[in-house]
């Protein structure tokens, strides 16, 4: 019994020593807010990582697996977490970002000061690197921000195990502002006053002066007289030539009469030519005069008469 009693007291002392050692170790190592011990923290991280892996939220699961895979964790938790961490690393897609800016002039240059967000969560805080960045598989909206340029968004569908997928981002500088000219205010057209009607032109004509008709009438009379006298004189001359000229018995008075008749006819014809020329001169050098009805119109009338030709001027002045 004593032995059993001592054994019982020895077991209790060992448990008390283990408890004191555990308490001392717990005070020596930092603890989380919700984990009473390092072992509990390891197993808790392993439990939280498992549903995240099933939901393919690999980045969040990776953070818990890195906790339970530490060397300070119990072997059972550490072994499983490290195996799961390898699986996550092989399944997790990775992206490599390449960014450049383009100017309106066509100039292009690479830039690194870019902020990258995925589905609203910051993935790259301020600067791109050549290292690949892990992202969960699935459809995501990536937003890229670069100072002085409009943000650029891209939508990607990432598959498990897709490695080092390159994402090219182009920031385009806005072109020069387009000036929109404001149309001028409507100004009603000026109504030009109609010009005053011009006074009607008085039609003018160039009527033949009365002297034209007088000269033409006198010339006609003289022409008729000359033709008659010339005809009588030539007829008398022909009669004398046929009757008395061969015997040279023509009376001197008859010969003189015939000669005078022909000469009178020639003079009358010459006078008629002068009268017609005067009438033509007066007609073509007349001045235009406004028309006023038919007043002042004169007409030349020529008609045959007994023993000759009648010529006269009729009309009103």
Higher pLDDT, 213 or 296: 213
Q: Are residues 214 and 166 in the same domain?
A: no
Q: What is the pLDDT of residue 10?
A: 35
Task: State yes or no: pLDDT of 187 exceeds 80.
Answer: no
With H, G, I as helix, E, B as strand and everything else as coil, classify residue 55. Answer: coil
Q: What is the pLDDT of residue 290?
A: 59
| 3-state SS string for 27-46 | HHCCCCCCCCCHHHHHHHHH
Task: State yes or no: pLDDT of 30 exceeds 60.
Answer: no
Last residue in a domain, options 120, 154, 172: 172
Task: State yes or no: pLDDT of 267 exceeds 70.
Answer: yes
d(CA 307, CA 317): 31
Q: What is the pLDDT of residue 19?
A: 38
Residues 131-169 as b/e (b if ≥16 CB within 10 A, e otherwise) read ebbebbbeebebbbebeebeebeeebebeeebeeeeeeb
The tens digit of pLDDT for each residue in 50-94 reads 999 999 999 999 999 999 999 999 998 899 999 999 999 899 999
The tens digit of pLDDT for each residue in 142-164 reads 999 999 899 999 999 999 889 99
Contacts of 93 (CB under 8 A, 6+ apart): 134, 135, 136, 137, 158, 159, 160, 161, 162, 163, 165
Instruction: Give one DSSP letter per residue of 291-304, joined into a string.
Output: --TTTT-EEEEEEE
Last residue in a domain, options 91, 118, 135: 91
The pTM of this model reads 0.42
Q: What is the mean pLDDT of the chain?
A: 77
DSSP 239: H
Q: What is the pLDDT of residue 209?
A: 73
- Domain membership flag for residue 201: no
Q: What is the pLDDT of residue 96?
A: 93
Domain that holds residue 308: 206-315
Q: Are residues 255 and 275 in the same domain?
A: yes
Q: Are residues 62 and 160 in the same domain?
A: no
Residue the block writes with tokens 């009379």:
221
- Domain membership flag for residue 11: no
């Amino acid at each position: 019994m004593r032995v059993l009693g001592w054994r019982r007291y020895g077991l209790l002392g060992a448990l008390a020593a283990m408890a004191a050692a555990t308490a001392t170790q717990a005070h020596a190592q930092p603890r989380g807010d919700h984990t009473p011990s390092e072992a509990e923290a390891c197993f808790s991280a392993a439990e939280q990582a498992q549903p995240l892996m099933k939901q393919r939220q690999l980045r969040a699961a990776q953070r818990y697996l890195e906790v339970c895979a530490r060397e300070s964790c119990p072997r059972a938790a550490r072994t499983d977490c490290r195996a799961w961490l390898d699986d996550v690393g092989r399944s997790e897609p990775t992206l490599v970002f390449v960014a450049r800016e383009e100017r309106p002039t066509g100039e292009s240059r690479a830039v690194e000061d870019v902020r990258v967000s995925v589905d609203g969560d910051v993935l790259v805080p301020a600067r791109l690197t050549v290292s690949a960045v892990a992202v969960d598989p699935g459809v995501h909206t990536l937003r890229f921000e670069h100072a002085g340029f409009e943000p650029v968004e891209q939508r990607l569908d990432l598959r498990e195990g897709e490695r080092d997928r390159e994402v090219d981002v182009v920031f385009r500088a806005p072109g020069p502002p387009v000036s929109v000219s404001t149309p001028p205010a409507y100004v009603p057209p000026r109504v030009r006053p109609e010009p005053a009607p011009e006074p009607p032109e008085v039609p003018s004509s160039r009527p033949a002066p009365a002297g034209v008709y007088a000269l033409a009438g006198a010339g006609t009379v003289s022409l008729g007289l000359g033709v008659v006298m010339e005809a009588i004189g030539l007829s008398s001359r022909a009669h004398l030539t046929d009757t008395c000229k061969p015997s040279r018995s023509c009376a001197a008075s008859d010969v003189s009469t015939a000669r005078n008749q022909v000469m009178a006819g020639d003079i009358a014809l010459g006078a008629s030519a002068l009268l017609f020329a005067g009438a033509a001169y007066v007609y073509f050098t007349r001045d235009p005069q406004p028309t006023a009805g038919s007043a002042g119109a004169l007409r030349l009338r020529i008609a045959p008469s007994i023993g000759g030709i009648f010529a006269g001027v009729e009309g009103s002045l």
